[in-house]
Structure 1
Amino acid sequence: MASLKVMRALTFALLLLLAIHFNQAEIIDGEEETDRFCYPENSKNSRRSCECSNVSASPWGMRALRIDCSYKDFKVKDLSLVLPLYIDSLDLSWNGLDSVPIFASDSLHQLNLRHNNISKVIAGNFKQLTSLRELYLGWNSIAQLEANSFEGLPHLQVLDLAHNNLHSLPSQLFAPLLVLGSLDISWNRRFNESGGDLYTGLGVNWKLATLRLDACSLTELHLPVSAPLKELSLRRNQLKRIPSQLPESLLRLDISDNLLEELLPQDTANLTQVRQLFVEDMSLLQSVVAQALASVDLLETLSFQNSRQLTHFDAQAFGVISSVSIKKKALRSLSFRGTMLRSFNSTLAPLFNQLTELDLNGLPLQCDCELVWLKQLPYQTNGRCYKPNRIRGMLVTSARGDAFSCDTWPRWAYGLVVLSLIALSAVGIYLIVMGLRPHRGVTMRRKVGAGSPYARVTIEPNRQENPH
């Protein structure tokens, strides 16, 4: 029995020594590969050397290598396609790559190829990067993605294709990406020419949570109502209405910088679960009509920032506000910064009182008796009075309450009174002048004789000429 225990102990010690030996050999080989990739012979002791650092990666603090080769003006021929052991992330942004290097690694999790000159991605370009989680291809000149471009990436979660020249995409392009959670196709201005449905046509999986389609020249969009999408960005497109067919699960929607002229109830009818809604930078938006926001009870953040034509916000935009309905509203942050709204109806006071943030910076507010309730809000709005002139530029919260006065007469009545006074003054002056003017029938005669001041000039000389 004792000999059996000794044999087991010797066997365990031998296996431990072998493991240490092979591990040391692997580390040595890994360090050699790292040096060969980070400090190649033709770039040693120069600015073209990459920055390599060892970190502890989650979840168990295992060794991970992060390599930063950005801003080195590398071409594909300058790179070693066999990546070092333990590499976790590789940054090749801001270089001169004209194609995607076909790397091989079973540990790489993040690859950044932004800001290069890549114009095409070929089939199987990444199939030797089986552990890749994040792939950034934005800010290139990619006009063509071959079928199976993303083959062999079953673990990819983030894909960035923004700022390229994509327009026609092959069918089921994204089908190999089984767990894709975030997809960015923004700033591909001809993307609407593809005409394919993202889910059924291009193979987007139902685990996608974030989708960005900014500046894609979209005039309409249809997404499956039952898709579990959480965040959708449609900024800077050509939409005249908020798309009626959107996933019911949306929590965040950005519809900014589109062509809406007014926000209507049908625009928000299916946004019942949205928590954040951004309607910013609208160049044509003029009004938010009654009931336009009545259905978004769960909305927490709403912004109309920099919609510079917005001049009307209906008193019932959130529906009829009562003590019962106000409890259902979850709104906490509201921004009208940079709009042209001049006043708000006092019926909005209960809703505004429950906010934690209200941004009125830059509004030309008409600080009269109808807006004095705004002074009572329990937070700073940064709103400033534009009229009346006596308090122009003052914060609403700083202006005296008695300065928020309303005229008892309409403005036209004041103008009529002033004109009447001017007319009466003119008539009075005319009558006075006419009263002082002599009558036409009166002739002024002056008596000439001895008592006249002209006597010595006129009479006396005559006497000397006629002594008799």
Structure 2
Amino acid sequence: MGRIAVRNTCRSRARVAFFLLLVVLVSACGAENIDADALDRFCYPESKRDSRLSCECNNVSAAPWGMRALRIDCSYKEYRTADLSEVLPLYIDTLDLSWNALDQAPVFNSDSLHQLNLMHNNISRLSANNFAKLSSLRELYLGWNSISQVEAQTFAGLPHLQVLDLAHNNLHSVPAQLFAPLLVLTSLDLSWNRKLNETTQLQSGDLYTVLGINWKLTTLRLDACKLNELRLPSGAPLKELSLRRNLFQRVPGQLPQTLLHFDISDNLLEQLLPEDTANLTQVRQLFVEDMSLLQGVAAHALVPLELLESISFQNSRRLSHFDGDAFGPLPKVPSLRTMSFRGTLLRSFNSSLSPVFAKLTELDLNGVPLHCDCELVWLKKLWIETGGRCLKPSRIRGMLLSSARHDAFSCDTWPRWAYGVVVLTLIALSAVGIYLIVMGLRPHQGVTMRRKVGAGSPYARVTIEPNRQENLS
């Protein structure tokens, strides 16, 4: 009985495999005969036919079994929404409508479209169920439009959407639970919506709860949204967060501890303190660039970043102090390989940082005004090229750190103020000496000079006699 059951199971599996193979073959054969009328109607509309403004339509092999798929590129064609057909061709996989003149988001109907690009158009409003007929859509790009109004059910009917780009728009009043229908959303970009901070709900609760963001989100970008406060659930599995060019004076305290990539560049921090990095224990890449007010990195500020691989302070032009104990007295960053101080105002580095710098594969010191003295000679011994150049002393000014000779990295044995004291002392002694010489050459007050009067005196009477030669004549 057991053998019979096994045979029946094998037969049923073989039938299922044959049926699936038959479906694949039928689908492949059907793909060979894509609806020509629908394809011509979309790719070559009457108003654009026989012109350079028609779309480019290409058949490609797509996963999982190499089935044919259609990719349509209609970018830079001056299309308006009225020029487009609602029904998309069969087997369409990608549709690019960027850089056109669309005045509203088109309503398309397709069960195979995976990627839709509507960037760089004139769309100002998104209505409810705008994309509900695109049930297979995975990537939607709406950046660089003028979208200011979004209805609550705009993204309904998109259960498979993973990437949503709404950057560079005019969003300021975002409906509550806007992204709730997006059950598998992994990447969300809301950058450069400068009035996003005016959304009232964001001031009362965390971003996930207010906007209905699911916990599968791994990438969140909120650049240039004029945010000065941000609340995120600490347990959210977020891996990448960008808060570049906002108004934060401190790193937000409520950040998920799962972050791997964090960008806090171009904000209003004046000092990077230990409390700023307390929750960044898993961060691999940290960007603190273009900070107009940042002046220093305090002691122990980078201690929590034990898994750090790359850190950049590039173009933080007021950064003049990097504490020797920034990584702690006993640095523990075995994974750190890349550091950038390009364009900062740092003049020197404490030798206590040598264990950290010695493990780097890239250290960028271009544009850093280094004071190449005996305290910095350890940096010259690094095996990597840093691009750093000496500003002082003047005898090696402009030379690469790696090109300057070791004996040029010298320190004065006396402090600089001592040289000033010596110079002033010499000037004072010289003045006293000159005064004494002058006083010694002057006659004494008790000596009286008397004039000689007599025949040998220069004041003796002179008699002029007439020339005898003249009298003889």
CA 1:460–1:142 in 2, change beyond 3 Å: closer, same or farther? same
Structure 1 residue 316 corresponds to structure 2 residue 325 = yes
Mapped to 1, the partners of 2:152 and 2:109 lie a distance apart of: 20
Counterpart of 1:292, as a letter, is A
Mapped to 2, the partners of 1:109 and 1:385 lie a distance apart of: 55
Structure 1 residue 240 corresponds to structure 2 residue 249 = yes
In the alignment, which of 183, 201, 224 is matched to residue 215 of structure 1? Answer: 224
In the alignment, which of 43, 47, 68 is matched to residue 42 of structure 1? Answer: 47
Mapped to 2, the partners of 1:47 and 1:443 lie a distance apart of: 117
Q: How many residues align?
A: 441
Show the counterpart of 1:8: none
Structure 1 residue 386 corresponds to structure 2 residue 391 = yes
Counterpart of 1:417, as a letter, is V
Deviation of residue 32 (structure 1)? 2.8
Mapped to 1, the partners of 2:421 and 2:466 lie a distance apart of: 69
Structure 1 residue 252 corresponds to structure 2 residue 261 = yes
Show the counterpart of 1:458: 462
- Secondary structure (helix, strand or coil) at the match of 1:331 reads coil
Deviation of residue 449 (structure 1)? 4.2
Deviations 1:376-431 (A, max 9, x none): 11111111111111111111111111111111111011011112222222333343
Mapped to 2, the partners of 1:132 and 1:403 lie a distance apart of: 64
Deviation of residue 269 (structure 1)? 0.9
Deviations 1:185-215 (A, max 9, x none): 0011111122333322211111101000011
Mapped to 2, the partners of 1:44 and 1:225 lie a distance apart of: 55
In the alignment, which of 296, 300, 307 is matched to residue 316 of structure 2? Answer: 307
Deviation of residue 182 (structure 1)? 0.3
Which one is further off, 68-77 or 30-39? 30-39
Give 1:142-291 correspondences, 5 Å limit.
Answer: 142-194=147-199, 195-196=201-202, 197-291=206-300
Mapped to 1, the partners of 2:432 and 2:177 lie a distance apart of: 89
Mapped to 2, the partners of 1:26 and 1:427 lie a distance apart of: 107
Q: Is the 8 A contact 2:128 2:152 kept in 1?
A: yes
Give 1:101-180 correspondences, 5 Å limit.
Answer: 101-180=106-185
Deviation of residue 446 (structure 1)? 6.7
Deviations 1:68-122 (A, max 9, x none): 1112221111112211112111111111111101011111111111111111100
- Secondary structure (helix, strand or coil) at the match of 1:390 reads helix
Deviation of residue 228 (structure 1)? 0.6
Instruction: Structure 2 unaligned segments of length 5 or more: list them.
Output: 1-17, 469-473
Counterpart of 1:460, as a letter, is I
Deviation of residue 27 (structure 1)? 4.7
- What stretches of structure 1 move > 6 A for 4+ residues in a row? 22-26
Show the counterpart of 1:57: 62
Show the counterpart of 1:344: 349
Deviation of residue 285 (structure 1)? 0.9
Q: Is the 8 A contact 2:207 2:230 kept in 1?
A: no
Which one is further off, 366-375 or 193-202? 193-202
CA 1:377–1:450 in 2, change beyond 3 Å: closer, same or farther? closer
Q: Is the 8 A contact 2:28 2:67 kept in 1?
A: no
Mapped to 2, the partners of 1:422 and 1:463 lie a distance apart of: 65
Mapped to 2, the partners of 1:451 and 1:418 lie a distance apart of: 53
In the alignment, which of 297, 303, 320 is matched to residue 306 of structure 2? Answer: 297
Show the counterpart of 2:89: 84
TM-score (norm 1): 0.89
Counterpart of 1:329, as a letter, is P
Instruction: Structure 1 unaligned segments of length 5 or more: list them.
Output: 1-11
Show the counterpart of 1:3: none
Deviation of residue 442 (structure 1)? 5.2
CA 1:53–1:25 in 2, change beyond 3 Å: closer, same or farther? closer
CA 1:390–1:128 in 2, change beyond 3 Å: closer, same or farther? same
Aligned-CA RMSD value: 2.4
Counterpart of 1:204, as a letter, is I
Give 1:388-427 correspondences, 5 Å limit.
Answer: 388-427=393-432
CA 1:339–1:23 in 2, change beyond 3 Å: closer, same or farther? closer
CA 1:369–1:23 in 2, change beyond 3 Å: closer, same or farther? closer
In the alignment, which of 415, 431, 434 is matched to residue 429 of structure 1? Answer: 434
In the alignment, which of 309, 325, 330 is matched to residue 335 of structure 2? Answer: 330
- Secondary structure (helix, strand or coil) at the match of 1:425 reads helix
Give 1:430-449 correspondences, 5 Å limit.
Answer: 430-437=435-442, 441=447, 443=449, 445=451, 449=455
Counterpart of 1:54, as a letter, is N
Show the counterpart of 1:99: 104
Mapped to 2, the partners of 1:281 and 1:291 lie a distance apart of: 22
Deviation of residue 461 (structure 1)? 3.9
Deviations 1:107-154 (A, max 9, x none): 111111111111110001001111111100011111111011001111
Show the counterpart of 1:6: none
Deviation of residue 337 (structure 1)? 1.1
Which one is further off, 270-279 or 424-433? 424-433
Mapped to 2, the partners of 1:361 and 1:442 lie a distance apart of: 78
Mapped to 2, the partners of 1:186 and 1:337 lie a distance apart of: 26
- Secondary structure (helix, strand or coil) at the match of 2:210 reads coil
Mapped to 1, the partners of 2:286 and 2:228 lie a distance apart of: 20
Mapped to 1, the partners of 2:398 and 2:465 lie a distance apart of: 85
Show the counterpart of 1:9: none
- Secondary structure (helix, strand or coil) at the match of 1:371 reads helix
Mapped to 2, the partners of 1:101 and 1:239 lie a distance apart of: 38
Mapped to 2, the partners of 1:35 and 1:59 lie a distance apart of: 27
Deviation of residue 42 (structure 1)? 2.2
Deviations 1:198-250 (A, max 9, x none): 32221111110100001111111111111111000000111111111111111
Mapped to 2, the partners of 1:295 and 1:25 lie a distance apart of: 58
